[in-house]
Structure 1
């Protein structure tokens, strides 16, 4: 299977001489949710900004949907890769929610009928019917972030990049982000997350790429990455709190990495059932 996005030996050096990423190789496929982790300055944001042409490689090549990002305009690439910024104020600037939803489609010169269809779909998916005439800046931060996501969803790029989507969100807002990531995936989008939110990654147990000092140092499922203490320490990262808690419990399976409360409860239930069946078999055997 061919990757939808392919990063080949990519390095990026800023004009001031700082090497932000070095010799990165990364293939991302249809249907994937990929989290990119790393401490501040590790290179994760620089890497992702190459996906839609906001930056171009100093060395190496990136292809998206078969297109070389060095040879394409940002407007073309933005129809394939939508970027939702950490701060929605950097993305919303029009006087109404409806105009925000229409803007990207209009900018890509879609027909009026297609714009209407796409915007109506975004309105339905994000339940924005009662907010269409509101000024986005009159909404709270969670609502503004949803408007930013909905505006990207209206364009319907294959790839949706979410930059720190849970920053500033309360528990309800974080749960909503988790649901939206799953919704994007269910609607056929590749989702790329730049995040420090280990709980979010734990709930998704998605493919996880770890960056450190401009290089990629790990790339695997979250439960496998989080089990490598050396990688986590090198990157200056901590696994989800529930994982650290589970590591302190001596009665759990030490060969497993627990990312959620449900995974712990599931193991306890399965282990209890196993013990009960084993005891029952012993009793039957003794009786015979």
Structure 2
């Protein structure tokens, strides 16, 4: 057996601001050359575990430690954050937070410059790392100008150049489109295969990570290790559901069809799973569930007419985009990173003015309305929660908009508490925001907009960093808002969110609208999928492998059945 590179022994950690430990009695060993996936609900301790491994605990996040943690055979606290940085390279879920150089080449070279490596040696190492992650052609570009996938490559190259032994990825897929996410998992796998480094991936998107094999999956729940098993064994157990983690969708529909899930059928991937005994049951299940959907005619509330825009003159980002959104409709906007999705939302909110075209709300041109005037009717939740938060305490952050509007304190407390309950944040209402995970901060920003009760709410990647339980709670709450007449616009890379909650999906590619249809039809069109960096869900592939002709209808029936089953 390979040597142990990470050894937790009876390890516990309690943040200074908390009354209970976040990690409790962790016993875990990770061996040299392993590729390990760590999953768990938001707030379960996954990020805290990562911060212990890379030294941010206790260097940046002080608290009480008991037990021991050894990295590469040495005590974590004796190594300190400087010593750990020589052994552990971390790639964060938000690449922008790691950039320090003005160009990609400078950013990759940062570690070498700190180590006073000679110019000739530095150039060779930067070139080698850039080729390893396929970013060499962009060495002279600004990191901020890159796509999401290119940013991830740059941060990975910056880690590789330091020749660390352990690569730690903290939710690397959180902000990536489906195609780029797939390529990122392939890149991580290739780097691990070529270098033999130990790889640890912390990620909510279990099915996406399993696009490439992992040695083990570790489930963290309520600060403890709930499971540590090979993927086939874990997927065949009920441990994921017990921890509130979404299993791969193709396994869910197989269970609905009465098919047993065992390690023998190789359930880790849609392409490897054995379906000889399941195909007939799937077809029977499909034929037995043919309830037709109800399509509602929603009166228009927002209309974009021939909208064009560019951040720089003669460099348009949007080209003549037109669309209509109905009152109480839930609509998703999809497309590759850089397609113009976020730009559309910024134009609707008034952050920028279109170079041509118009925006109408309830039939009135709002082109002359200020940002403040629009904000009273249109709420916008940004993709990165750190770009929205301005208060120290959670309650104060959610209450800020109401206070600015002069609402009475008693009314503010009542409404804030109601929204915090729905968003799963009520137990943390008196916590500092800094003590929250990325996913929990995301819910705080959503709560701060929902509390204002807008007529339209735009959410940029609402489920990024969310576990399955909070994903469901949040989306059901948004669905409830739509039934009350609030229009919900979701900018998302989440294919299942699109299928389950959107009545329509609008697809942008290269600044143009290329599709506006039911999501199940959009995601069965291979030309649209290719143009917009989307991805067929595993449900489509399952239908194809089971020889069910109507793949999009199979998916629609699964979504309807699954919703009813979950609601009892």
Offset at residue 188 of structure 1 (A): 3.0
Q: Distance in 2 between matches of 1:261 and 1:254?
A: 11
Q: Distance in 2 between matches of 1:178 and 1:119?
A: 18
Q: Does 1:162 align with 2:162?
A: no
2:542 to 221, 240, 245: 245
Q: Distance in 2 between matches of 1:193 and 1:265?
A: 23
Counterparts of residues 166-205 of structure 1 (less than 5 Å): 166-205=463-502
- Paired residues, what number? 265
Question: Structure 1 residues 86, 71: closer, same or farther in 2, change over 3 A?
Answer: same
Partner of 1:51: 348
The answer on whether the counterparts of 2:334 and 2:492 sit within 8 Å (CA) in structure 1 is yes
Q: Distance in 1 between matches of 2:491 and 2:372?
A: 22
The answer on whether the counterparts of 2:540 and 2:551 sit within 8 Å (CA) in structure 1 is no
Q: Distance in 2 between matches of 1:105 and 1:265?
A: 39
1:258 to 546, 549, 554: 554
Point out which structure has higher relative CO (alpha carbons under 8 A, 6+ apart): 1
Counterparts of residues 125-136 of structure 1 (less than 5 Å): 125-136=422-433
Offset at residue 57 of structure 1 (A): 0.9
Question: Structure 1 residues 94, 229: closer, same or farther in 2, change over 3 A?
Answer: same
Question: Structure 1 residues 117, 68: closer, same or farther in 2, change over 3 A?
Answer: farther
Counterparts of residues 1-288 of structure 1 (less than 5 Å): 2-112=299-409, 114-250=411-547, 252-254=548-550, 256-259=552-555, 262=558
Deviations 1:81-112 (A, max 9, x none): 11111111111120211111211122234455
Deviations 1:141-170 (A, max 9, x none): 222111111111111111111111222233
Q: Distance in 1 between matches of 2:561 and 2:355?
A: 48
Secondary structure (helix, strand or coil) at the match of 2:478 reads helix
The answer on whether the counterparts of 2:423 and 2:474 sit within 8 Å (CA) in structure 1 is no
| TM-score, normalised relative to structure 2 | 0.44
Larger Rg: 2
The answer on whether the counterparts of 1:240 and 1:259 sit within 8 Å (CA) in structure 2 is no
Q: Distance in 2 between matches of 1:146 and 1:236?
A: 27
Partner of 2:51: none
Offset at residue 211 of structure 1 (A): 0.4
Larger deviation, residues 185-194 vs 148-157: 185-194
Secondary structure (helix, strand or coil) at the match of 1:166 reads coil
Deviations 1:109-149 (A, max 9, x none): 44556544533432343354332221112112222111111
Deviations 1:58-80 (A, max 9, x none): 10110234553321111111111
Question: Structure 1 residues 65, 226: closer, same or farther in 2, change over 3 A?
Answer: same
The answer on whether the counterparts of 1:203 and 1:259 sit within 8 Å (CA) in structure 2 is no
Offset at residue 221 of structure 1 (A): 0.9
Secondary structure (helix, strand or coil) at the match of 1:57 reads coil
Secondary structure (helix, strand or coil) at the match of 1:119 reads helix
Q: Distance in 1 between matches of 2:333 and 2:559?
A: 23
Q: Distance in 2 between matches of 1:53 and 1:263?
A: 35
Offset at residue 194 of structure 1 (A): 0.6
Question: Structure 1 residues 233, 126: closer, same or farther in 2, change over 3 A?
Answer: closer
Offset at residue 184 of structure 1 (A): 2.9
Any stretches of 5+ residues in structure 1 without a counterpart?
A: 267-288
Q: Distance in 2 between matches of 1:261 and 1:135?
A: 43
| TM-score, normalised relative to structure 1 | 0.82
Deviations 1:248-284 (A, max 9, x none): 221x243743336835979xxxxxxxxxxxxxxxxxx
Secondary structure (helix, strand or coil) at the match of 2:354 reads coil
RMSD of aligned C-alpha atoms?
2.5
Q: Distance in 1 between matches of 2:409 and 2:361?
A: 27
Question: Structure 1 residues 110, 72: closer, same or farther in 2, change over 3 A?
Answer: farther
The answer on whether the counterparts of 2:521 and 2:552 sit within 8 Å (CA) in structure 1 is no
